[in-house]
Chains A and B, each alone.
Chain A
Amino acid sequence: MAEKTPRKDIKKATNNALELQKIPTTIPGLDDVLHGGLPAGRTTLAIGGPGSGKSILGMQFLYHGAKNDEPGIFVVFEERAEAVRQNALTLGWDLAPLEKAGNLFLYEAHVDPQAVLSGNFTIKGLLTIMEGKVRSLGAKRIVIDAIDILLRLFDDPVRERSELYALHDWLNDHKMTAILTVKDAAGAVIATRYEFLDFMADCVIHFDHRVVDQVPTRRLRVTKYRGSGFFPNECPFIIGGGGVNVIPISGIEMRHKALGAKVSSGLPQLDNLLDGGFRRASSILISGTSGTGKTILANTFAVSACKHGEKVLYINFEESAEAMASCMLSAGIDLRSALQEGKLRIMTAMPESVGSEEHLINNLKAIDEFQPDHVIIDAVSSCKRMGTPRGAYDYIMLMTNACKEKGITTILTNQTEGFQEEHEISGVGISSNIDTVLFLRYIDIGGEVNRVLLVMKARGQKHSNQYREFHITDHGIDITDVYVGEGGVLTGVARQDQEAKEAVEFRRKQLEIEYKEHLITQKKAEMTADIARRHAELAASETEMKSLKLEASLIAGERDSRANMRTDDKVNTLRKTPAPKNKRQDASRKERTQ
């Protein structure tokens, strides 16, 4: 019972924490990370190196506020206001009208580097300017970019701290929702400064712009949020049109929908193999070497789905939309009507044009806009060209996860170099996220090269385990019967292979047992021989001892008889008393005489 009381208190505290008001940043993904947004009326610290995106975050926050008639002030220490306006324009934010409307104020707080320092001073000037502007605009949001420039003036940790206190008090008194950015050029903010900044902020976000395997990547991480939970992991983000885009953590967590109803693959014969077709909201990998017909198979599905009034987003990393469309036409697959009706949308991009995060965000945006029923990614094997294997892996996992959450079917094509790679992309294992694997390959028998297809895996579905031969004709793909090679059904051959392997293994074991048995028999024989030998030795020893004893008694007998010869009869009679001795003496005497 005693333990229950503090528990209640904790719960109460959590309830209070829930009451903490938050202002959504409206920055895609970031509000998820912050469990709702920035703490209202409190200070958030954005720490990061130059160009890490912290200032953009600040401007983004003010811009969205200003657009919604929540005025804000941007205090910029390092840049000209005009440069800030220009930069904002490149991100698609036109600040001028907002400034005119009195919803945004850019304060170019220039610290004169030539200024002479003589005696103590405070930042009261800045505070009164902010005060005046906050009052005239009715501002509730403020961004100070970058606070370290101002602090540099003081050149003394104690004074620096007291000025930060003054700033902190001012922000609190005015219930400003503030973002202070701090430069972190040498990898770490000056320790004492950071400690205090960290203390006075309710929320701390670290920004990082690093180069991994020659690919620049951006990460942000929330390290502190007073009175609130937050997502503590590093989150990849990009800076593009619209500013900071954080990879949605909904894609990091698993919120998959159950696999849905069957949807036709576009080929009745393939549907048969799959016991009715693909499952909706599942992910299907079409794997195979170059030219085996992966793209044709994917497009066959796309056209079929579009014909049924469903929408397909085709993300192509391999060739242009025109090239693919004309290529498909020669195989009898006409994409034109699906494209014209807006059922099929083809998105093409060079994998190396941007980083994997940017591809991901672009593609997720397209999914949100287009609301497709199915997404095709052609080919995931190209994704490694986005940069790192890790980036490619994240891209594929996050894409398939996002689609699964939305109930979208994903078809991934994968160009392999060999059988062992059928559902991996150059060491990047994605198989756990794949529900169905179709494997296409060439088969070379009897001087003829044919294409065959195998359903290697189909989660939650009955499926055929046999290779089927298929042909690419000028009217699409034609799947024929079970492929029978020289040694019968190919899967049979594979099984025979396996069985043969097992038989060999069994035989090897048997031989090993036989050999061991043989060894034991030999050991036993050795032991028997050894025992016999030892018996013989023992017997020999015993014999030897017998003869030694005999010799000893003979010697004794002779001595006695010699003694008898010397003594009189009386003595002799007396000595004869112990019968056995005499007997033996008699015997030995007898022996001797004999």
Chain B
Amino acid sequence: MKQSNQPAKTGGSKNYAMLLFVVSDEPNSKQAKDNLKRICDAHSDKRYQNKIIDVVEDFQSALEYNVLVTPTLILIEPPPPVRIFGNLSDTNKVIEALRLTGD
């Protein structure tokens, strides 16, 4: 499952790589996917490389990334990595945690 959340607009923008671990049919997971998309769309000056992983289908990745709770969003790039648990409903908190503000 791969979903690219849209491309470069300006040359000086940062590259973002995120992993969103979900359980496909779970309401929280659906909300998390929607919320992430909304947040990314609102910050369209960045380049996003987002990957959505369904743990039921790919428990190995869950194991590898030590994903105990779903949904879990892991910010891989830019470092340092950040983990966010939950359906990402608290938009401001998510934006702050992902360091999408500031530049």
Verify B83–A116 contact, CB threshold 8 A: yes
Q: Decide yes or no whether B10 CB sits under 8 A from chain A.
A: no
What interface size band does chain A fall in? 20 to 34
B68-A111 in contact (CB<8A): yes
A129 sits at the interface (CB 8 A):
yes
Q: A109-B68, A111-B68, A124-B70 are in contact. Are A118 and B86 (CB under 8 A)?
A: yes
Asked whether, in the complex, the Cβ of B82 is within 8 Å of the Cβ of A116, the reply is yes
| Contacting residues, chain B, for A119 (C-beta < 8 A) | 28, 31-32, 35, 86-90
User: Which of the segments B1-9, B11-19, B43-51, B56-64 contacts the partner chain?
Assistant: B56-64
Q: State whether the Cβ of B40 lies closer than 8 Å to any Cβ in chain A.
A: no
Q: Which of A114, A118, A128 contacts B90, CB < 8 Å?
A: A118
- Report the separation of the CA atoms of residues A133 and B85 in the bound assembly, to the nearest whole angstrom: 23
Q: How far is the CA of A359 from the CA of B62 in the complex (A)?
A: 47
Q: Please determine whether A132 and B85 come into contact, CB atoms closer than 8 angstroms.
A: no
CA gap between A115 and B59 in the complex, in Å: 20
Interface residues of A in 115-149 (CB under 8 A from B): 115-126, 128-129, 131-133
Bound-complex Cα distance A131 to B23 (A): 14
A123 CB contact (under 8 Å) in B59, B69, B84, B87: B69
CB–CB B62/A125 < 8 A: yes
Q: How far is the CA of A109 from the CA of B64 in the complex (A)?
A: 11
A110 interface residue per 8 A CB criterion: yes
B84's partner among A108, A118, A124 (CB-CB below 8 A) is: A118
CA distance A519 to B55 in the complex (A): 105
A109, A111, A118, A153: the one contacting B87 at CB < 8 Å is A118
**Is there an interface contact between B70 and A132, defined as CB atoms closer than 8 Å?**
no
**Interface residue from A115, A124, A131 paired with B83 (Cβ < 8 Å):** A115
In the assembled complex, the CB of A146 is this many whole angstroms from the nearest CB of chain B, namely 14
Check B93 for interface membership: any CB of A closer than 8 A: yes
Which B residues touch A125, using CB under 8 A? 21, 55, 62, 67-70, 72
Query: A112: CB under 8 A from chain B?
Result: yes
A111-B68, A126-B69 given as contacts; is B60 within 8 A of A121 (CB)? Answer: no
- Say whether B66 faces chain A, with CB atoms less than 8 Å apart: yes
Q: Which of B23, B32, B60, B84 contacts A132 (CB 8 A)?
A: B60
Closest chain-A Cβ to B92's Cβ sits at a distance in Å of 9
Say yes or no: is A313 at the interface (Cβ < 8 Å to chain B). Answer: no
Distance, CA A118 to CA B71, complexed state (A): 10
Residue in B66, B82, B86, B93 whose CB lies within 8 Å of A121: B86
Inside 8 A of B60's CB, which chain A residues have their CB? 132
Q: Is A46 an interface residue (CB 8 A)?
A: no
Contact A115 B87 (CB under 8 A): no
Contact yes or no, B71 A121, CB < 8 A:
yes
A128 to B93, CA, bound (A): 28
Residues of A within 8 A of B35 (CB): 119
Q: In the docked arrangement, what's the CA distance between A123 and B69, Å?
A: 4
A150 within 8 A of B: yes
A91-114 contacts to B, CB under 8 A, are: 107-112, 114
15 interchain pairs, CB-CB under 8 A = A109-B66, A115-B83, A116-B97, A117-B86, A119-B35, A122-B69, A125-B67, A125-B72, A128-B23, A128-B56, A128-B62, A129-B62, A132-B60, A132-B62, A133-B63
Spell out A's residues near B (CB within 8 Å).
Answer: 107-112, 114-126, 128-129, 131-133, 150, 153
- Give the 9 A-B CB pairs with smallest separation, nearest first: A132-B59, A119-B86, A119-B89, A119-B87, A115-B83, A125-B67, A118-B90, A116-B97, A126-B68
- B-side residues, CB < 8 A to A, are 21, 23, 26, 28, 31-32, 35, 55-56, 59-60, 62-63, 66-72, 82-90, 93-94, 97
5 more contacts with CB within 8 A, not counting A107-B63, A128-B62, are A109-B66, A118-B90, A122-B23, A125-B72, A132-B60
